[in-house]
Amino acid sequence: MIPLVLIRHGPTEWNAAGRIQGHTDVPLSDAGRRTVRTWCLPTEITEAAGDWDWLTSPLARTRETAEILLPAAARNVLCPEPALVEMHWGVWEGHSLAEMRRIDGPGTAEAEARGLDFCPPGGESPRQVQARLAPLLAALAVRRRPVVAITHKGVIRAVLARAASWDMTGRAPAKLQDGCAQRFALDDGGALRIEHLNIPLYQAGMAP
C-alpha cells in the first residue's frame, strides 16, 4: 500500500467570514500564514522528504501553504496538480451557506440532501470530484511513491467518501479537522483505504 497524506490549506479571509471559496482564487490571510508557520509535518515525512512526491492544488491558498510548510528540498519538486483543485461551487461561490439557505431555502435543502450528487448551479458534485481524482490516483499507484498533497476540504471529503464507501448522506464516517493531516493508502489499482485521520500538525505548545 502506498501512503497518501492530504492536508487542507491554511485559513483565508473567506474562511473566517464563512464564505464558500470553490475555484475562487483566495490567498491565505495574514492570520492564516501565521497559523501555517505553527504547523510541522509528521517526522516520518520530514526525515525522508526525498522519498515522497509533493503535490499541490494550483490555487494560491494551497501553494502558499506548501511554500510555508514543506521542507526546502521538497519545494524544488513541488508539482501543481489540476485534479486537486477545490470542488467548483458555481453561483454559490462568495456566499455563505446561511445566505444561500435564506435566498433559496427549499432548493438549497434539496440540493444538500443529494449527497454525492449534490451540485450547486454551475458547479460540480462530489461524485464529479471523485471522477477527476480517479486518473490521478491510478497514476500515483503506478508510480508507487508516497505522496503529500496540499489541497482542499471538498477534495479530502471526496477521498474520504470513496475510501469509506460513504454516499455523503447521513452521518460522516469522521469529522475532518483543520490543522491536521489525513493519511490514506492506495493499493496497486488506485483503491483507497483510511489509515489515520486528524493527525495534528501543530507543534507542541503552539496549538490555537
Residue 196 annotated in active site: no
Best CA proximity match to 129, nearest among 140, 143, 117: 117
Question: Using CA atoms, how far apart are residues 127 and 134, in angstroms rounded to an integer?
Answer: 11
- Among residues 81, 86, 93, 124, the one annotated as catalytic is 86
Half-sphere exposure of 155 (CA within 13 A, CB side): 27
CB 58 within 8 A of CB 82: yes
Angle at which helices 153-164 and 126-143 pack, to 10 degrees? 80
- Among residues 9, 81, 88, 152, the one annotated as catalytic is 9
Give residue for cell 449527497. Answer: 115
Strands 53-56 and 147-151 come out as: parallel
Best CA proximity match to 150, nearest among 29, 59, 77, 71: 59
Residue 188 burial (CB count, 10 A): 11
In three-state secondary structure terms, 23 is: coil
Residue 86 annotated in active site: yes
Catalytic residues: 9, 86
